[in-house]
Amino acid sequence: MPDRGGGPTGPRRIRVGRPSRRARTLLMTLGVLAVLGMAFTMFAGFWTDWLWYRSVHYSSVFTTMLWTKIGLFFVFGLLMAGAVGFNIWLAHRLRPPLSAMSMEQQSLDRYRLGIAPYKTWLLLGVTALVGLIAGASAAGQWRTWLMWVNGVPFHQKDPQFHLDVSFYAFDLPWYRFLLGFGFATVILSLIAAALTHYLYGGLRVTSPGARATAAATGHLSVLLGVFVALKAVAYWLDRYGLAVKSSDFKATDNWTGLRYVDAHAYLPAKTILFCIAVICALLFFATLWRRTWQLPVIGFGLMVLSAILIGGLYPAIVQKFQVQPNEQAKEAPYVQKNLTATREAYGIDDAQVTDYEGKSNTEDKTRLRNDAAATASIRIMDPNIVSPTFQQLQQMRNYYGFPTNLDVDRYATKDGKEQDTVVGLRELNLAGIPKNNWINDHFRYTHGYGVVAAKGTEADSEGRPVFTEYDLPSRGDLGTYEQRVYYGEKTSTYSIVGGPQKEIDYSDDSGEKTTSYRAKSGVNLANPLNRAAYAVAFNEPQILYSGAIGEGSRILYNRTPKERVEAVAPWLTIDGDAYPAVVNHRIQWIVDAYTTSNGYPYASRTTLGDTTADSLTATNNSRAVVAQQNQVNYIRNSVKATVDAYTGDVKLYQWDTKDPVLKTWMKAFPDTVQPKTDISNELMAHLRYPQDLFKVQRELLTRYHVTDAQTFLTGSEVWQVPDDPTNKSGNAVPPYYLSMKMPGQSSQAFSLSTTFTPNGRDNLSAFMSIDAEAGSPEYGKIRILKLPTSTTVNGPKQVQSQFNSEQDIASVISLLSRGHSDVEYGNLLAVPLDGGLLYVEPVYVRGGGLKYPLLRKVLVSYGNSYAFEDTLDQALNKVFGAQASTPTPPDTGTGKPPAAGNATVQKALGDAQKAFDAGQDALKKGDWQAYGQAQKDLQDALQRAAEAQSEGDKAGKPASGG
């Protein structure tokens, strides 16, 4: 008999002991700590968001979004969980009392017995899982819900169904969500019920006898009936969906709206399919009494066959045999609807298109020269080129920096006249601080300092900007203002300010100045809970225990203007170019924001990221529009926002008072947008038409400048935005801000302009300008000068090519490029002038010992004449062959014009002109000896002129006591 005790002759049993009580306690403690850690991490994210919204006084935005998401989560999560759970319970309740004794059922018995003790928990687990998924999905529809529940009418009706546009923009998206949720609920319920019926014998696959019990048949047929009923609703909504359906058509992608085949084939097909689906659903419901699948299966098959034949084959036949043989006649009425809707949706319906000859017939050269001076304040300081020059001359300290692309604004000169001004902020650049560590990066170096501004239309004798605001602290024409920049485009990290650690304010000859932040921006870190939350949220433990944080410490983050506006108004699309302005003695970032929709019937769609891309966004992604991939077919610049560079305060102002989308969001988020009347005159002076909206509109106008359907269908009038000829990016030329006078205007206006070329060609087809000055009564007016197709006028690429191929110009460019120098072309500006087009392009040289570009030459073209001179005035004089009859007197520093009647001065100035011309000739020939002599003669002549001027001033001075 074997040894039962496991003695030496038997197998040895190894007994695994239970963990000790101490080990179990440790494991339990670690588990509890892990759960608490995860919970606090989630809490930290929520708590820091709440604190931030409260700090910027937009807590209502946070709570509205939060409660909306929570409400949608629980309502739809419970609906999904309840529907699936109820159908599982009902299928279990309807199970047959005894299962057929078959191999299939014997196999299932093991599973039934296995889950029997856990049926309740399993039911709760399944329903909770599907409820969580459904609730999370529904919470993501908070925008759709808020727009539906707060929607206001457009007071415009679509041309097909005569419903208000608000139905398509606000109602239809919500109905589609409900429909999609209904389908998901029925499908999951159907799957859950079928599995339960199969598990408990209500459905049989291989067992002999009936495949389904009468109870299972009735249950599943009702669910199928609900599914088919929902399909009937889908067919009905699809009828309206045709008005906002995208398709490619002719010369335009993303065409939206009904075409001939939609109106005459798809629309009746959807109506017929709706009726068939309703009948089919009733047949499924009838199985509750007839207990047979025969009729509903026949009905479902008929519905599928009808969908193929009526919904697919019939429209194809109509397109092939009715539309294609006479497409223009058939499609013209629908194209006309698309033209009208698209022009309205993008705000281009009032664009004024006028014919423009493209060449001047004026023989009076002096008049042309005078008109050139009066038509535009031509900007030769390119804000996209001179940032390194600002950096080199006005950076002052390595820890300051300027954006890659500066901005153009308008500021008043000392005599009260407005002038185009290139503006940049001296922002914080952490890469330039002497030593990077946590204290320096987040406590000591916290802000930039001051505005730097320069005249847009002038350069000094060395080709440098003529600064109107300069030095550190900044001084100049802008007067007194708060210069510290805590919020800016380059400020992407957090700072902790206002506590025991002093900040570096700025440095001057006496050394570093320190400061401490005194505004109430940011979140107070004196509270230990707040410190712990931010330590977790920012993954920075030192926030929790650092001695540099104490009473009064505040953390600043989300510091770029676009980030702040997007956070407080998540329903807005943000323009890519925020720009600074000095308003009421403070630096304010001005941010343009848009309301958009993709549900405007018949209006073609566009992708914002593609439409607003140009040569600047290609090299500087920070200028890209926020929400780049949004497809829209309605857009309005409905909000102007400001962000205070010191306090970070965000203010939203209603700009488009008629926009129904903005009115809808103002109902959803009351008291977040201030009325337009609250915009001060000082702020209004710096508001402008936004670039991204202009780029969207100009892209649409390449096709939709046409108002006649027949012309649109031929595609003969399609334009394109030319590529930027001044660089090799291969992207569209950016639009330019410029004070100019369009034909028909009485005076110059701050404008945004661009050019068009024919599709696939380089000659000019049109010039577009929009009044960009917010205070102007014609703000937003689009003017298009359409050139004749019978003559050829050079476009930007051809003008640039001509510049480069002119032998005299090319030789000078070659000379300027020598000695490790680089030639950089500035913005190629086009200005309509007396029937022709004046092109002006500044040319910069960066090289030798210089690390920044200086203006060296100005290229000018008018008609077939070209000039390449040191200054704009010289180039204009040469290209027109005449001098302005009323030239602007040079600034002598005394406020008085030079003595024009002094013969000595006149002779000296004449000698100076001769010497200058001789120098230019020598430069073209490469005769450096002659060039040097000419420069010497020029200096001598200018010296004689200055001395003669001085003598004239003394002679004209009144006697003492006189």
| pLDDT tens-digit map of 740-776 | 999 888 888 999 999 999 988 889 999 999 999 998 8
The tokens describing 277, both together, are: 């689906």
Q: Count of alpha carbons within 13 Å of 692, Cβ hemisphere only?
A: 29
d(CA 64, CA 75): 16
d(CA 351, CA 786): 12
> pLDDT for 265-296, tens place per residue?
999 999 999 999 999 999 888 887 776 667 77
Distances, alpha carbon 869 to alpha carbons 113, 240, 632, 819, in Å: 96, 62, 46, 21
> pLDDT for 333-375, tens place per residue?
999 999 999 999 999 999 999 999 888 878 788 888 888 888 8
pTM value is 0.85
What mean pLDDT is predicted for residues 681-686? 93
pLDDT of residue 130: 93
Residue position matching structure tokens 């202009």: 694
Distances, alpha carbon 521 to alpha carbons 134, 163, 821, in Å: 39, 47, 47
- Is the predicted pLDDT of residue 422 greater than 50, yes or no? yes
What mean pLDDT is predicted for residues 901-913? 61
d(CA 570, CA 47): 19
- Sequence length of the chain is 962
Distances, alpha carbon 481 to alpha carbons 417, 472, 476, 504, 585, in Å: 21, 13, 11, 19, 4
Task: Specify the DSSP element, H or E, that contains 63.
Answer: helix 59-93
pLDDT of residue 34: 79
User: Which amino acid, 946?
Assistant: A
pLDDT of residue 580: 95
pLDDT of residue 18: 61
| Sequence-separated contacts (24+) of 356-359 with Cβ below 8 Å | 356/743, 356/767, 356/785, 356/786, 356/787, 356/832, 356/835, 357/787, 357/788, 357/835, 357/836, 358/764, 358/787, 358/788, 358/791, 358/793, 358/835, 358/836, 358/837, 359/791, 359/793, 359/835, 359/836, 359/863
The pLDDT confidence band at residue 7, using thresholds 50, 70 and 90, is: very low
What DSSP letter does each residue of 789-815 carry, written as one string? SSS----HHHHHHHHHH-HHHHHHHHH
For residue 788, say if its preceding peptide bond is cis, omega within 30 degrees of 0. Answer: no
Q: Please, where are the H alpha helices in 429-518?
A: 438-439
Q: Please, where are the H alpha helices in 655-690?
A: 660-668, 681-684
- The answer to whether 72 and 141 have CB atoms below 8 angstroms apart is yes
Tell me the pLDDT of the chain averaged across its residues: 85
∠ at Cα 400 (394, 403), nearest 5°? 80
Residue position matching structure tokens 């929520």: 46
| Report for 57-71, 121-135, 426-440: range of highest mean pLDDT | 57-71
The tokens describing 954, both together, are: 């003394």
> pLDDT for 491-502, tens place per residue?
989 999 998 999
∠ at Cα 127 (123, 128), nearest 5°? 115
More confident residue, 689 or 820: 689
- The answer to whether 534 and 606 have CB atoms below 8 angstroms apart is no
What mean pLDDT is predicted for residues 828-852? 87
More confident residue, 318 or 652: 652
- % of the chain exceeding 90 in pLDDT: 51
In 3D space, the residue among 383, 504, 359, 351 whose CA is nearest the CA of residue 441 turns out to be: 504
More confident residue, 879 or 956: 879
> pLDDT for 200-212, tens place per residue?
777 776 655 566 7
- The answer to whether 236 and 274 have CB atoms below 8 angstroms apart is yes
- Based on DSSP, count helices (H) and strands (E) in the chain, helices before strands: 30, 36
In 3D space, the residue among 703, 707, 605 whose CA is nearest the CA of residue 332 turns out to be: 707
> pLDDT for 181-232, tens place per residue?
999 999 999 999 998 888 877 777 665 556 678 888 889 889 999 999 999 9
The pLDDT confidence band at residue 828, using thresholds 50, 70 and 90, is: very high
pLDDT of residue 907: 64
Q: Dihedral of the CA atoms 451, 454, 456, 462 (nearest 10)?
A: -150
Residue position matching structure tokens 């600043």: 556
Least confident of 528-537, 554-563, 824-833, 911-920: 911-920
Q: Count of alpha carbons within 13 Å of 133, Cβ hemisphere only?
A: 12
DSSP 3-state of 368 = helix
d(CA 578, CA 561): 7
- Is the predicted pLDDT of residue 387 greater than 80, yes or no? yes
Q: Residue 842 pairs with which residues in a beta bridge?
A: 858
pLDDT of residue 363: 79
The pLDDT confidence band at residue 792, using thresholds 50, 70 and 90, is: confident
pLDDT of residue 1: 43
- Is the predicted pLDDT of residue 950 greater than 70, yes or no? no
Residue 280 CB neighbour total at 10 angstroms: 26
- Is the predicted pLDDT of residue 158 greater than 70, yes or no? yes
d(CA 877, CA 139): 66
What DSSP letter does each residue of 683-742 carry, written as one string? HHTT-B--HHHHHHHHHHHHHHT---HHHHHHTTT-EEPPB-TTSSS-SBPPPEEEEE--
What mean pLDDT is predicted for residues 649-672? 96
> pLDDT for 929-947, tens place per residue?
676 677 677 667 666 765 6
DSSP 3-state of 497 = strand
d(CA 594, CA 569): 11
Q: Residue 514 pairs with which residues in a beta bridge?
A: 504
pLDDT of residue 590: 96
Residues in contact with 928: Cβ distance below 8 Å, sequence separation at least 6, in sequence order: 922
∠ at Cα 562 (561, 566), nearest 5°? 120
What mean pLDDT is predicted for residues 35-46? 82
pLDDT of residue 939: 67
> pLDDT for 591-638, tens place per residue?
999 999 999 999 999 998 888 888 887 777 777 887 777 889 999 999
pLDDT of residue 252: 62
∠ at Cα 291 (289, 297), nearest 5°? 110
- Is the predicted pLDDT of residue 84 greater than 80, yes or no? yes
More confident residue, 892 or 674: 674
What mean pLDDT is predicted for residues 59-83? 96
Residue position matching structure tokens 């031929």: 714
- Is the predicted pLDDT of residue 848 greater than 70, yes or no? no
| Backbone dihedral angles phi then psi of residue 941, each to the nearest 5 degrees | -65, -40
